[in-house]
A and B are shown apart, each in its own frame.
Chain A
Amino acid sequence: MKVTRRQFVKGGVAAFSVTFAAPEFLSDLARAQGAHTRNLIVLNLSGGMDILSFLVPYQDANYYSRRPTLAIPAANVLQIGTDASGVALGLHPRLTGVKQIFDTGRLAFVQRTGYANQTRSHFLGTDIWSTADPNNSQALGWVGRYLDALPSPVDPLVGWNTSGSLPHVLQANKVAVPAIPSPTTYAFQSPNGTGTEGQAEKAAAIRMASHIPIDRPEVAFVYSSAQAAMATLDRVATVGTYVSSVTYPNTGFGQALKAVAGAMFRGIGTKVFYVTTGGFDNHSNQGVNPANGAFYGLMASLNDGLLAFHTDLKNQGMLEDTLLVTFSEFSRRISENGSTGTDHGAATIMMVLGGRVNGGLIGTAPNLNLDPKNPTLENNAADVTFETDFRSVYARIIDNWLGTSSVSLLGADFRKPSLTFI
């Protein structure tokens, strides 16, 4: 349950209400805090993406014997080279755009990321990747903690959540990140239209939202949302009219990335974006190979969205300001199940993409042999075990991209000198 998390949010509302900036200062703040500065995009691949169908060890005989129906034939993978352990790797055949980005040297795959005793629960797993604390899955989100540490007052558009509800990774004490799934419908309506009467009503709504009863945290929380909504309407409207340099796929994922690019282009002050795309919980009929298969479709959506985004940013001169990092709560079991699908597994891959990324294959792929003592596997050689703590990846981003101390943000030293992707 989300009990404890709720307590955290409650505890923070009072702080939020006193540090929140008044609307008239917002545009100045936006300029001061973020316009055309570095952006971080956190992309959640929800459901537990099957890494072995994404980045394929196509010369490993155990991959083929353990996945008799799901394995991708070696001839079909998009070869991208050999990692430090000498394992030859290839991308899913639908990821032609991802390969194109990889070939520019601006995409890194950090292999075997995870943590000790990784949970196989979607919900606990997502909580842990969000808090960056396996021992406190109810803590605030790591990005939320970053936002909390920004100097007050914080612009309410400092973060932009493209999903409908607040993800755990953005949960903060002081900053309510607005959820803006579509910038074009993010507008105030009145029964009396947009004329004088409607404007008077909008003014009344803004005044009503300006009171915050700090003695009632749950009410104050909703006030903070209403207030942030009213304060951000006009700037978000400018994003709705963004004309991109490429056509984005008409998927939720593609349109979310277009909104991100638009927000960056308009320079409205946002520093952190959250994007999520799901459907990776492929227990049955995973459909890795056929063009109408479920996983194949997921790869198509991922590929086409990322390629459009990358191309658009490059065309608009914004790629250098951008860092995108992915997370998924776990990868999947190595051996396929009886339903031509895969069950919940352990270590996964994190992707890091951006104009200043040192791309390539980082870390080592697992050896898939069934020896229970195989050090790259766990759970009697059923699952991949982690090599790089996911918090080390976060730490590198926090230190070298967000420019703040990972040791204080993560509460411990997870820096790993060999990680130099940024």
Chain B
Amino acid sequence: MHVAEEQRLRPQFSGPDPVTPRAPAPEIEHLLRRAGFGARADELEFYGEMSIPQAVDYLVNYEQVPDDVDSKIGTLGYAGITTRAPGFLPVSSIVDARQRWLFRMVHTNRPLQEKMTLFWHNHFATGYNKIAGIYGNTEGARYLAAKASEDPGNVRGQVEMLRDNALGNFRDMLVNIAKDTAMLVWLDGRTNTRAKPQENFGREIMELFTRGVGYYTESDVYAAARVFTGWNLARPGTGTAQHYEYLYVAGQHDTGEKTFSFPIYSNGSRTIPARAAAAGEQDGIDLINALAGAPETARYLAKKLYWFFVSDTRAPAQSFVDSIANVYLQSRYDMRAVMRAVLLSTEFWEPRAYFARYAWPVEFIVRAMKDVGWRGFSVDTARTSMSAMGMDLYEPPDVAGWDAGETWFSTGAMLSRMNFASGLAANQRNNLVTAARPNAGTPERLVSFFLNEMRTAPLAGGVQQDLVDYLRATGNWTGSDAQLNQKAPALAHLITGSVEYQFV
């Protein structure tokens, strides 16, 4: 490996100076914990040169950064993947798709794109099992995770679509999702016909994707189901290119008028007019336009963004909701403008917002890899551990997404986090010993060094002393390599598995 690359990619633990505070301000780390998945050493260095507004601009305008992270998979210096026969195939194996996404989260230079993709995946939560149960495992992975460039039928999976539009226009996103193959299977739109309207998608697009519960009625659900009648699937192509894709089937569309409890058109009309079957696809577009433009949707999204990016331990101020909702409506649903406003908001930068969010399993795992090290560590190990913590990518528990916040922290899940930390620290033993060696003069100094490298919420009184006591627990402190060989990974384990590390 070239020395330059080695330097750029080094895990944080290779710093030569004992207990030197890292250059970037805590602000940058806060920003990267939220707008990304924590910070590698090279990220800290890079963003550390910028002011906060510059860093936010750089994060939201990620198109200027090459999207080359996938090309790093399987190369030296990066986290490993685990290959199974017949090969690493994220286009058709959900296990490999999960590995690829985790790899991207660790190594991307477009952290906000991956973070937003996770946000959307949770928002339009679609689960692999149902699709795989109907069309088979390879097709299930395909409709969720295939990149068009790697699929023989140019299929772009749902999460790739979300990734491509991560900071795009929300209205366009809704149109895409309504026509998305995986969604048409997941919420049964593929079987939504004139004779027997299917309510599943019609309900959830209002309850979970836009307006929110309480802002639609049961008769709106029936009307919405009728609106999307005929939004079904076709199966074009032959051989390996054959695939399911959206098709508007005019003959299956209910052509009657549909009346809602809320305005559909700018003149205040609540009724989508009767239309000829051939023109009936417009019904769905009209409803989506109305849902995207509703102030209820703007506020619903503002709150959801607050929970995800700012804090899930206290409620958003009405002023935050109003201000973000206003940016959303004024910009005509431009998520880049919205996210820029979120990341520059007063609420985001309040001292009490720091570490005010329970880390999701995927955030915990990726950050731990960035802090402790990744070389020789397979993201597949991370994948299986995450499952025990209650989270499988591409498999949210239901269409409402993951029940985040304190519900991540059942006892079993907390143990799984501690045990992941143990496995990772054991795996990185040599790196950790190397990093610890110059800082091993006293147990106090070594603990300070580790805590400086791995940021946590402020430790409860006594915890730091517990760590020091542990270093002295099994014999006099010498700081020898033999001692560090046991103590350094154990220390990384205890800190990564500590309560205070479970916040971002």
Task: Establish whether residues A343 and B199, one from each chain, have CB atoms under 8 Å apart when the complex forms.
Answer: yes
Among residues of A, the one whose C-beta sits closest to the C-beta of B417 is A226
Residue of B nearest to A156 (CB): B411
B317 interface residue per 8 A CB criterion: no
- Contact: B415 with A191, CB < 8 Å? no
- A201 close to B493 (CB less than 8 A): yes
Q: What CA separation (Å) do A121 and B313 show in the bound complex? A: 25
Q: Mark A171-208, 1 if CB is under 8 A from B, else 0.
A: 00000101111100111111110001100110111011
Residues 366-413 (chain B) with a chain A CB within 8 angstroms:
388-390, 398-400, 403-413
- Write the nearest CB–CB distance from B14 to chain A, whole angstroms: 19
In whole angstroms, what is the CA distance A341 to B356 when docked?
A: 43
User: Which stretch, A5-13, A71-79, A302-310, A404-412, touches the partner chain B?
Assistant: A5-13
Query: Contact between B418 and A205 (Cβ–Cβ < 8 Å)?
Result: yes
Contacts of A196 in B (CB 8 A): 474
Q: Is the CB of B473 within 8 A of A204?
A: yes
Question: B188, A219: Cβ atoms under 8 Å?
Answer: no
Q: In the complex the two chains form, is A201's CB within 8 Å of B199's CB?
A: no
Q: Which residues of A contact B187 (CB under 8 A)?
A: 283
B193 touching A226 by the CB < 8 A rule? no
- The answer to whether A186 and B415 touch across the interface, beta carbons within 8 angstroms, is yes
Count, chain B residues at interface, CB 8 A: 76
Q: Are B414 and A6 in contact (CB under 8 A)?
A: no
Interface string of B189-200 (1 = CB under 8 A from A): 011110111111
From A2, A204, A212, B466 is in contact (CB under 8 Å) with A204
Bound Cα distance from A294 to B129, whole angstroms: 13
Does A285 sit within 8 A of B, measured CB to CB? yes
Q: Provided the pairs A123-B400, A124-B213, A211-B463 are in contact, do residues A221 and B406 lie with their beta carbons within 8 angstroms?
A: yes
A192 touches B486 (CB 8 A): yes
Q: Are B490 and A190 in contact (CB under 8 A)?
A: yes
Assess whether B414 is in contact with A166, with CB atoms less than 8 Å apart.
no
Task: Give which listed residue, B409, B425, B503, contacts A191 with CB less than 8 A.
Answer: B425
A219 touches B500 (CB 8 A): yes
Q: Mark A211-227, 1 if CB is under 8 A from B, else 0.
A: 11100111101110110
Residues of A120-146 contacting chain B, CB below 8 A: 120-124
Q: A124-B213, A185-B388, A219-B460 are in contact. Are A200 and B473 (CB under 8 A)?
A: yes
Q: Which of B190, B407, B489, B493 has the most CB of A within 10 A?
A: B407
When C-beta atoms are compared, the residue in chain B nearest to A2 turns out to be B405
Q: Give chain A residues whose Cβ lies under 8 Å from the Cβ of B503.
A: 218-219, 222
Inter-chain CA distance A219–B494, complex, in Å, is: 16
Contact B499 A219 (CB under 8 A): yes
Chain B proximity of A240: nearest CB distance (Å): 13
List, in ascending order, chain B residues with CB within 8 A of A218's CB. 313, 356, 358, 406, 503
Residues of B within 8 A of A225 (CB): 409-411, 413-414
**Do A229 and B411 form a contact, CB below 8 Å, given A205-B418, A338-B191?**
yes
Query: Is there a chain A Cβ closer than 8 Å to B169's Cβ?
Result: no
> What CA separation (Å) do A10 and B315 show in the bound complex?
12
Q: Is B111 an interface residue (CB 8 A)?
A: no
B279 near A: Cβ within 8 Å? no
Closest chain A residue to B356, Cβ basis? A218
Counting CB contacts under 8 A, is A362 at the interface? no
Complex: chain A residue closest to B221, CB-CB: A120
Tell me the B407-446 residues at the A interface (CB within 8 Å): 407-415, 418-419, 422-423, 425-426, 429
Chain A residues with Cβ below 8 Å from B410 are 161, 164-166, 178-179, 225
A416 CB to nearest chain B CB (Å): 28
Known contacts: A191-B493, A192-B486, A204-B494. The answer to whether A7 contacts B403 by CB under 8 A is no
Q: Which B residues are in CB contact (< 8 Å) with A182?
A: 412
Q: Are A229 and B198 in contact (CB under 8 A)?
A: no
Does A190 contact B218, Cβ atoms closer than 8 Å?
no
Q: How far is the CB of A301 from chain B (nearest CB, A)?
A: 14
Contact indicator A344/B414 (Cβ below 8 Å): no
- Complex CA–CA separation, A121 to B215 (angstroms): 13
Our pick among B191, B462, B502 for the contact of A339 (Cβ within 8 Å) is B191
Q: How far is the CA of A174 from the CA of B197 in the complex (A)?
A: 46
Residues of B contacting A185 with CB < 8 Å? 388
B213-A213 in contact (CB<8A): no
A223 touches B358 (CB 8 A): no
Is B411's CB under 8 angstroms from A285's CB? no
Knowing that A222-B406, A339-B196 are A-B contacts, what are 6 other residue pairs whose CB atoms are under 8 Å apart, sorted by A's residue number? A6-B405, A165-B403, A179-B412, A203-B473, A222-B502, A336-B196
Residues of A participating in the B interface, judged by any CB pair closer than 8 Å: 1-3, 6-7, 9-10, 120-124, 156, 161, 164-166, 176, 178-182, 185-192, 196-197, 200-201, 203-205, 207-209, 211-213, 216-219, 221-223, 225-226, 228-229, 232-233, 283-285, 294, 336-339, 341, 343-344, 379
Between-chain CB contacts (< 8 Å), 16 pairs: A121-B213, A123-B400, A166-B407, A178-B410, A179-B413, A187-B415, A191-B489, A197-B486, A201-B494, A207-B469, A218-B503, A219-B503, A226-B418, A229-B411, A284-B190, A285-B134
User: Which B residues fall within an 8 A CB radius of A?
Assistant: 133-134, 187-188, 190-193, 195-200, 203, 207, 212-213, 218, 221, 303-304, 307, 312-313, 315, 356, 358, 388-390, 398-400, 403-415, 418-419, 422-423, 425-426, 429, 457, 460-463, 466-467, 469-470, 473-474, 486, 489-490, 493-494, 497-500, 502-503
